[in-house]
Amino acid sequence: MESLKIAMLAPEFLPNWGGAGTYTILLARELSKSDEIHVFTTIRSDSQSSSKKQIEDYFKGRVNIHVLSTAKDRFFYNAIYQLNVARRLPVLLEKEKFDIIHSNHAHMPDLGLKLRKVRGHSITTVHTTMSSQYQGIKRSAGHIGHMDGSEKMVRFGYPFLSIIEIYYLDKTDNMIFVSDFIRRDTERILGKPAPRGVVIRNGVDLERFRNNSVSASNPNKLNIMYCGRLLALKGLNNLMDAFAIVHKSNSGTHLTLVGGGDAGQWAETARVSGVPDDAITFLGQKRYEEMPGIINKADIFVLPSISESMPLSLLESMACGRACVASRVGGIPEIITHGEDGFLFTPGNSKELADCLNRLIDDKGIRDEFGRKARERIVSNFSLKDTVSQTRNMFLSVAGGTE
C-alpha cells in the first residue's frame, strides 16, 4: 500500500473543544499508522493549553506538529491562523511536496491559499456551513445574552461571512461531506452539484466507546446527560425548559452537562426555568479519553440542537448503548430512526422534548431496547475504521495513488 505525505490544516486540534477538532485528531492518529502526517495548528493560551511537545507525545511521536499561531479566543484566532497559513505555507508546500492538503470547513483554514491560487491536491471535509449555523443561531437565541462570542460574530457578521463561504466552497474541488444533509446544504449554497464530493460519515472508535456498565440505571436517580459546547445553538434554552417539566414530575432525575462554555450563564437560565440547583451539574470540558466513562454513567443522552450535521457526541453515546433523544434536524435523522433506536423531536419544542424524556424515564424496557439497537446501528454504519478507510481511499484517488 502506497504511503502518503499529508498536510492537515487544523486551527482546532488539541486540546479539542469541538467535533471538527476530534475528527482531525482521530484522523491524524489513524492515518499516522500508514502515512506521514504533518499537522499545522495553533496553541491555545489558556489553562487547558497543550504545548507542542505534549501534542507530539500524545501521538507517540508519529505525527509532526507545526505551530502557526496562538489561539486566545474562539473566533478571531481562526482569522489569524488563516493569515499565517497564507503567509507561511506556500514555501513549505513547495519544499515538502505533500501528496494531500486536508482542511475542515467551516474553519476555511486554507482560504488564503485559494486567494493566492496556490496549487496542490487539496481536500476539504465539510462539517457544517456558515448558512446552517446562522439559521440555527437566529432560531435558538432568546436574546443576545444567551449567545456565545463566536455565535454573535456569526449572527452579525453573516452577510460578509456568507460571501467568503461561497467563494471558498466554489474554489474547493474535492470535498468530503459528513452527512447527506450537509452535502445538500453545500450544493444549495453553491447553486450547483458538487461532482467531486463524497459523503463519508463520521465514525466512532468502537473499542473505546462501548457499554461498560452492568446497569447504568439507579432506580432512585436517573441521569440525563448532554455533551457538547454550552451554546444557544445547541438548544440549551429548550433543554432547561424541558428538564424543568421533567423534574417536576420525576424528582429523582438529574441533568448533567459536559462541555466548555459559560456554565454560570446556563446555571442561571436553568434557575429561571425552574430547575433546582441540586438537580443539575456542569462538569466542564473533559478530555476525549474520559468521555466513555462519563457517558456510561448516563441513563439517557439528549441532544437538543437547533443545527447539527453529524454529531460525534450522539454517535459515541449510541455506541455506549445509551437511550438517546435528539432534535429532528440536519443529519441527525440519518443516525436515529424515530421509535426504533431513539426518539426524535421537533427542534425548539420543549414540551415535545419533555414528553420524549418522560417516556424513557417511565419505561426501562424502552431504554434498554433503544440502547441495544443504538449500539447495533453504530457498529453497522458508523465505525471509525470504515471512516478512515474511505477517507484514505479518497486521498489516494486525489493524489493519483493506487492501492
Cα Dmax for the chain: 65
Q: What is the CA radius of gyration of the chain?
A: 21
Query: Cα separation of 106 and 126, whole Å?
Result: 7
The domain segmentation of the chain, as residue ranges, is: 5-203+383-399, 222-381
Q: CATH for 5-203+383-399, among 3.40.50.10190, 3.40.50.880, 3.40.50.2000, 3.30.1130.10?
A: 3.40.50.2000
pLDDT number for residue 48:
64
For residue 240, is it left (φ>0), alpha (ψ between -120 and 50) or beta?
Answer: alpha
User: Is the separation of the CB atoms in 9 and 110 below 8 Å?
Assistant: yes
CATH number of 222-381: 3.40.50.2000
Quick check: do 5-203+383-399 and 222-381 share a fold? yes
Residuewise pLDDT in 10s, the chain (403 residues): 489 999 999 999 988 878 999 999 999 999 999 999 999 999 987 656 678 999 999 999 999 999 999 887 767 888 999 999 999 999 999 999 999 999 999 999 999 999 999 988 999 999 999 999 999 998 886 656 778 888 989 999 999 999 999 999 999 989 999 999 999 999 999 999 998 999 999 999 999 999 987 444 566 789 999 999 999 999 999 999 999 999 999 999 999 999 999 999 999 999 999 999 999 999 999 999 999 999 999 999 999 999 999 999 999 999 999 999 999 999 999 999 999 999 999 999 999 999 999 999 999 999 999 999 999 999 999 999 999 999 999 999 999 844 3
